[in-house]
């Protein structure tokens, strides 16, 4: 008996970061009408044929669903258990139950990939050209190269006149052979939108200098403008690449690194293959011709463009390890970069096809072949009405020609009567599994043998009726059959996908942002308004308490609007200089609005005041800044607010959520030891329960890390640190989403929180050089971290940029760099050792702050944490690496170690 899972439980599982396979076991037509966003179609009729390819690890968490949680799901679960799958769960109520729980179902196929294309266009502002513009360019004879990003078989059916077939997975590898120079415009098209966008953005991401465009709406848009399509085209890329690949490899490698892709050795992949707790997919992304000539044992052919476009055809497990293989060092990194953005854990195999990797082959499910009946014997039996003849071929194939006297059916609907059962099928295995122990025979040679024998054949385009063709999706078919309304409907469906998606579904897709312009924004954001004539570069310091108005109506208007808008009304509500700083922080954090406070701790305290009331429960990271822990102990708890602490890496957080939990407060990375947690996964846990997620983002400074973009509601920073940068001003900020703003704004106004114009000016001054200073802090801290690792007096170094650091993969995924902070554990457990070390330093100042230009040292005290492992550490030293000469800093550390003994 299989276990069941509720829709809400499944929704949490989908976004908890652990491996999961969600299979829709209805037939393709049913699936395409309405299914879960992350549901992969594995029809019951093809269960044994595809399940081991889509879910190679029988221990994977596996959720199946049908229409209503009924017979098909039950039969599928029973069969999966027989095949050795131990973690099968049936979704209560099936697709109907999911929808009844208020959760969204999606029409169409390859929905995550299609939605991702729309998100990429939105995030990257991918340039596009309309069909009419392209036609005008062609009519004028303007030089351009038009590349069709679909596979050759799709391309041949219909394409834009003059286009050349170059599937998206081949673009980065072959484009230099297809485009004459760097000035010629390139247009990428497909049948609709997704592959046009992804193809164009691939070339843009690779740094090509050509003008690059996606053809808006592809061949469908061309047809809707009444332009003629070309059919049967044979233009395509050459089999061999003629250019030197050094440039392409470098561009592909840089793109992959930007997306967080790493290369892995054959030995590492062999170890992964032996890991019974994880799923592994080895994917050859080259062309079919290359794959046929030879691939690595255990690899499946997944042409690169299609692996992006229709990932669910090849990969059935979310968060599985996916290792990509090529022969050139270009295609696999590019495809892996897209899979990472799609939310998959993708890697590139070092050495590719020449790596020598050998993995076990996926063994097909064994079956007992059905006994055969010849066409002549079947004809005789039909004449005597002695057999029940069932045709299991696709319904649209059946309509084009079938044996007179046969009925169309499919495994889930297969029924018998008193007569012997004879099956017609293209695949003997499919027929054997459909019979499932029933006494049945199979037509030898299938329908083609019957037709070749000249026996009676019927053709009926109305049988079976459309409603009975549960294996066929009419939704995506008619758009290519001259039906303009169907084409318009399909394009509207693609464009509208993002509006249907939940926040968690959108957050599961991670398109690369365009190359950062944050350095420029830091220099120019919140500047004085443009005007005529001479004016100051910097925002003026506007010291004020009283604001004067011209008349009473003007004052009344300002006071009426000041609770919902930022207007100048009184000094306690801010001044023009602090407003300019609020604007800069809001832009840096990517939020709705920002409020400023006298210190970073005051900012954190205001968050608790704004969003918590007696009887509420707050969960705080165990790695929190120590004064926040004191605030919770001496203020929140005495006022009736329940406080709990969760593991700095977020492990076990879900089990700690309570009915009265109102706020989760994280610090990423953790204070002192820099633990990383998966913020999008935590956000996905919080949002269904209406729990706010606040993040102390002081380490990331809004420049290295953007919590609001990763699903948080509130981002807190001590502007005292890197934004100030000169160790001469105290300030904190809270930036929120629009939904979370009202409570913070109201509470801050009630408490009269304000900062001086002089202090705001100092933070604005420091922010202008934030990026340049962080470059040096990061580089020097990494150098010193590596140096410390080699010292015998050091047991362990804590720095998220080190590959050995716990959570390093999350840092690579979510952060754009690191800063000057690091900690290290001394090898000597004697507390006196740390005193001798620190007292021996001459350049490092002994101080508790950081983020300024100078290097600092202090003791990292982790004794107040709940984690026993943290309390059991040897003495830990925290360093802030400033802007001094790194060689001089290392000399100073050597001096300290020499005195420490």
pLDDT in tens, 675-719: 999 998 899 899 989 999 999 999 999 999 999 988 899 999 999
Residue at which a domain ends, from 322, 354, 386: 354
Question: Is 476 part of any domain?
Answer: no
166 and 309 together in one domain: no
Residues of the chain with pLDDT > 90, as a percent, come to 81
Count up the domains in the chain and report the number.
6
Please state the three-class secondary structure of 527-567 as a single string: CCCCCCCCCCCCCCCCCCCCCCCCCHHHHHHHHHHCCCCCC
Look up the domain containing 655 and give its range: 523-530+539-767
Is residue 537 pLDDT above 80, yes or no?
Answer: no
Is residue 664 pLDDT above 90, yes or no?
Answer: yes
Q: Tell me the pLDDT band of 564, cut-offs 50, 70 and 90.
A: confident
Question: Is 502 part of any domain?
Answer: no
Q: For the residues of 556-587, what is the DSSP string, one character each? A: HHHHHHTTTS-----GGG--HHHHHHHHHHHH
Give the mean model confidence (pLDDT) for residues 324-328.
Answer: 97
Is residue 744 pLDDT above 90, yes or no?
Answer: yes
200 and 235 together in one domain: yes
Pick the closest to residue 807 from 676, 699, 651 (CA basis).
676
Taking the model in full, what pTM does it have?
0.65
CA distance 434 to 430: 6
pLDDT at residue number 71: 94
CA distance 891 to 841: 9
619 and 761 together in one domain: yes
Question: Is 506 part of any domain?
Answer: no
Q: Counting beta carbons within 10 angstroms of the beta carbon of residue 459, is it exposed (0 to 12), middle (13 to 18) or buried (19 or more)?
A: exposed
Question: What's the token pair of residue 177?
Answer: 């052979």
pLDDT at residue number 526: 63
Question: What's the token pair of residue 282?
Answer: 């080895």
Give the lowest-confidence range in 135-139, 486-490, 792-796, 836-840.
486-490
Return the CATH number at 65.
3.40.250.10
b/e code 333-343 from CB counts within 10 Å (16+ = b): bbbbbbbbbbb
212 and 276 together in one domain: no
Q: Tell me the pLDDT band of 538, cut-offs 50, 70 and 90.
A: confident
Give the lowest-confidence range in 225-229, 559-563, 854-858.
559-563
pLDDT at residue number 554: 85
CA distance 107 to 114: 11
What are residue 852's phi and psi, to 5 degrees? Answer: -85, -170
Question: Is 586 part of any domain?
Answer: yes
Tally the C-alpha atoms within 13 A of residue 199's C-alpha that lie toward its C-beta. Answer: 34
Q: Tell me the pLDDT band of 516, cut-offs 50, 70 and 90.
A: low
Question: Is 298 part of any domain?
Answer: yes
Question: Is 473 part of any domain?
Answer: no
CA distance 266 to 350: 7
Return the CATH number at 798.
3.90.1150.10
733 and 774 together in one domain: no
CA distance 461 to 399: 5
pLDDT tens for residues 162-191? Answer: 999 999 999 999 999 999 999 899 999 999
45 and 152 together in one domain: no
| Cβ atoms of 718 and 690 closer than 8 Å | no
Question: What's the token pair of residue 280?
Answer: 């592994």
Question: Is 504 part of any domain?
Answer: no
441 and 464 together in one domain: yes
pLDDT at residue number 871: 66
Give the mean model confidence (pLDDT) for residues 470-494.
Answer: 82
642 and 774 together in one domain: no
Q: For the residues of 694-732, what is the DSSP string, one character each? A: EEE-TTTTTTT--GGGGT-SEEEEETTTTTT-SS----E
| Cβ atoms of 852 and 722 closer than 8 Å | no
| Residue 632 DSSP one-character state | I
DSSP bridge pairs for 134: none
CA distance 29 to 45: 12
Question: What's the token pair of residue 472?
Answer: 């066929």
Is residue 808 pLDDT above 60, yes or no?
Answer: yes
Q: Tell me the pLDDT band of 599, cut-offs 50, 70 and 90.
A: very high
pLDDT tens for residues 415-445? Answer: 888 899 999 999 999 999 999 888 999 999 9
Q: Are strands 642-646 and 593-597 parallel, antiparallel or unpaired?
A: unpaired
670 and 750 together in one domain: yes
Give the mean model confidence (pLDDT) for residues 472-501.
Answer: 84
314 and 412 together in one domain: no
**Alpha helices in 310-457, H assignment, sequence order:** 331-341, 375-383, 395-400, 428-435, 446-452
Pick the closest to residue 583 from 539, 626, 549 (CA basis).
539
pLDDT at residue number 539: 81
317 and 204 together in one domain: no
Return the CATH number at 759.
3.40.640.10
DSSP bridge pairs for 402: 458
Residue 347: other Cβ atoms inside 10 A = 22
CA distance 681 to 420: 55
pLDDT at residue number 417: 82
Residue at which a domain ends, from 243, 272, 287: 243
Question: Is 782 part of any domain?
Answer: yes
Question: What's the token pair of residue 695?
Answer: 């993040």
Q: Tell me the pLDDT band of 868, cut-offs 50, 70 and 90.
A: low
Q: Tell me the pLDDT band of 358, cut-offs 50, 70 and 90.
A: very high
Question: What's the token pair of residue 373?
Answer: 């009946």
pLDDT at residue number 1: 54
194 and 120 together in one domain: yes
Sequence-distant (6+) residues with CB within 8 A of 293 are none
CA distance 764 to 770: 10
| Cβ atoms of 871 and 863 closer than 8 Å | yes
Q: Tell me the pLDDT band of 479, cut-offs 50, 70 and 90.
A: low
Residue at which a domain ends, from 733, 748, 767: 767
| Cβ atoms of 668 and 706 closer than 8 Å | no
pLDDT at residue number 478: 65
């Amino acid at each position: 008996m299989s276990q069941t899972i509720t829709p809400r439980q499944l929704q949490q599982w989908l976004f908890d970061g652990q491996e999961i396979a969600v299979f829709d076991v209805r037939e393709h037509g049913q699936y395409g009408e309405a299914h879960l966003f992350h549901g992969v179609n594995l029809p019951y009729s093809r269960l044994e044929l595809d399940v081991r390819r889509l879910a190679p690890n029988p221990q994977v968490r596996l959720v199946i669903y049908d229409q209503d949680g009924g017979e098909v799901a039950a039969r599928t679960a029973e069969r999966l258990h027989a095949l050795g799958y131990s973690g099968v769960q049936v979704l209560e109520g099936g697709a109907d139950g999911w929808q009844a729980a208020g959760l969204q179902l999606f029409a169409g196929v390859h929905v995550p990939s299609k939605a991702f294309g729309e998100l990429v266009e939105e995030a990257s502002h991918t340039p596009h050209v309309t069909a009419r513009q392209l036609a005008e360019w062609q009519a004028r004879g303007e030089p351009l190269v038009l590349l069709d990003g679909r596979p050759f078989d799709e391309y041949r059916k219909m394409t834009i006149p003059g286009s050349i077939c170059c599937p998206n997975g081949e673009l980065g590898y072959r484009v230099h052979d297809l485009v004459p120079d760097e000035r010629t415009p390139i247009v990428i098209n497909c049948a609709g939108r997704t592959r046009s966008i992804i193809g164009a953005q691939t070339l843009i991401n690779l740094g090509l200098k050509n003008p690059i465009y996606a053809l808006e709406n592809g061949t469908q848009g061309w047809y809707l403008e009444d332009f003629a399509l070309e059919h049967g085209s044979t233009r395509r890329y050459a089999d061999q690449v003629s250019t030197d690949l050094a440039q392409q490899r470098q561009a592909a490698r840089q793109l992959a690194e930007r997306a967080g892709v790493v290369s892995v050795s054959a030995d590492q992949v062999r170890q992964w293959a032996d890991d019974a707790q994880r799923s592994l997919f080895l994917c050859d992304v080259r062309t079919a011709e290359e794959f046929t000539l030879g691939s690595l044992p255990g690899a499946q052919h997944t042409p690169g463009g299609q692996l992006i476009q229709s990932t669910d055809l090849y990969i059935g497990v979310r968060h599985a390890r996916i290792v990509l293989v090529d022969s050139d060092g270009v295609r696999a990194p590019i495809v892996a970069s897209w899979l990472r953005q799609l939310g998959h854990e993708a890697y590139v195999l070092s050495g590719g096809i020449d790596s020598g990797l050998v993995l076990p082959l996926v063994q097909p499910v064994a079956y007992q072949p059905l006994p055969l009946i010849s066409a002549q014997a079947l004809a005789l039996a039909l004449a005597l009405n002695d057999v029940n003849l069932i045709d299991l071929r696709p319904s649209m194939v059946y309509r084009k020609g079938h044996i007179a006297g046969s009925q169309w059916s499919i495994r889930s609907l297969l029924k018998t009567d008193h007569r012997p059962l004879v099956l017609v099928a293209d695949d003997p295995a499919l027929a054997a599994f459909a019979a499932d122990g029933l006494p049945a025979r199979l037509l030898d040679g299938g329908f083609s043998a019957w037709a070749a024998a000249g026996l009676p054949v019927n053709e009926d385009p109305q049988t079976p009726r459309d409603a009975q063709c549960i294996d066929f999706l009419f939704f995506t078919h008619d758009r290519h059959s001259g039906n303009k309304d169907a084409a318009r409907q399909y394009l509207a469906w693609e464009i509208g996908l993002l509006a249907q998606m939940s926040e968690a579904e959108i957050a599961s897709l991670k398109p690369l942002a365009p190359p950062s312009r944050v350095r420029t924004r830091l220099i120019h954001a919140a500047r004085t308004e443009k005007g005529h004539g001479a004016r100051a570069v910097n925002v003026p310091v506007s010291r004020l308490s009283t604001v004067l108005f011209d008349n009473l109506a003007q004052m009344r208007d300002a006071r009426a609007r000041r609770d919902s808008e930022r207007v100048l009304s009184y000094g306690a509500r801010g001044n023009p200089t602090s407003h300019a700083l609020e604007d800069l922080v809001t832009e840096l954090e990517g939020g709705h609005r920002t409020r400023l406070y006298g210190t970073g701790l005051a900012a954190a305290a205001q968050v608790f005041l704004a969003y918590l009331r007696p009887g509420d429960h707050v969960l705080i990271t165990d790695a929190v800044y120590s004064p926040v822990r004191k605030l919770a102990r001496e203020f929140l708890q005495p006022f009736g607010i329940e406080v709990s602490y969760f593991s700095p890496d977020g492990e076990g957080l879900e089990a700690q959520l309570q009915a009265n939990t109102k706020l989760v407060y994280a610090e990423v990375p953790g204070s002192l030891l820099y633990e990383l947690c998966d913020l999008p996964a935590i956000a996905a846990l919080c949002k269904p329960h209406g729990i706010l997620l606040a993040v102390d983002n002081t380490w990331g400074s809004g420049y290295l890390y953007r919590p609001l973009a990763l699903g948080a509601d509130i981002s807190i920073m001590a502007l005292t640190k890197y934004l100030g940068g000169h160790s001469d001003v105290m300030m904190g900020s809270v930036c929120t989403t629009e939904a979370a703003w009202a409570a913070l704004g109201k509470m801050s106004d009630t408490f009269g929180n304000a900062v001086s114009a002089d202090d705001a000016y100092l933070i604005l001054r420091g922010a202008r050089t934030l990026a340049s200073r962080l470059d040096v802090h990061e580089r020097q801290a990494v150098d010193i971290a590596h140096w410390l690792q080699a010292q015998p007096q050091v047991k362990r170094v804590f720095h998220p940029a080190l590959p050995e650091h716990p959570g390093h993969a999350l840092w690579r995924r979510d952060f754009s760099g690191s800063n000057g902070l690091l900690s290290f554990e001394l090898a000597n457990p004697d507390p006196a050792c740390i005193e001798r070390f620190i007292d021996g330093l001459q350049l490092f100042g002994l101080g508790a702050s950081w983020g300024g230009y100078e290097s600092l040292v202090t003791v990292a005290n982790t004794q107040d944490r709940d984690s026993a492992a943290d309390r059991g550490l040897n003495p830990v030293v925290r360093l802030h690496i400033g802007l001094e000469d790194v060689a001089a800093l290392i000399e100073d550390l050597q001096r300290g170690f020499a005195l420490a003994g």
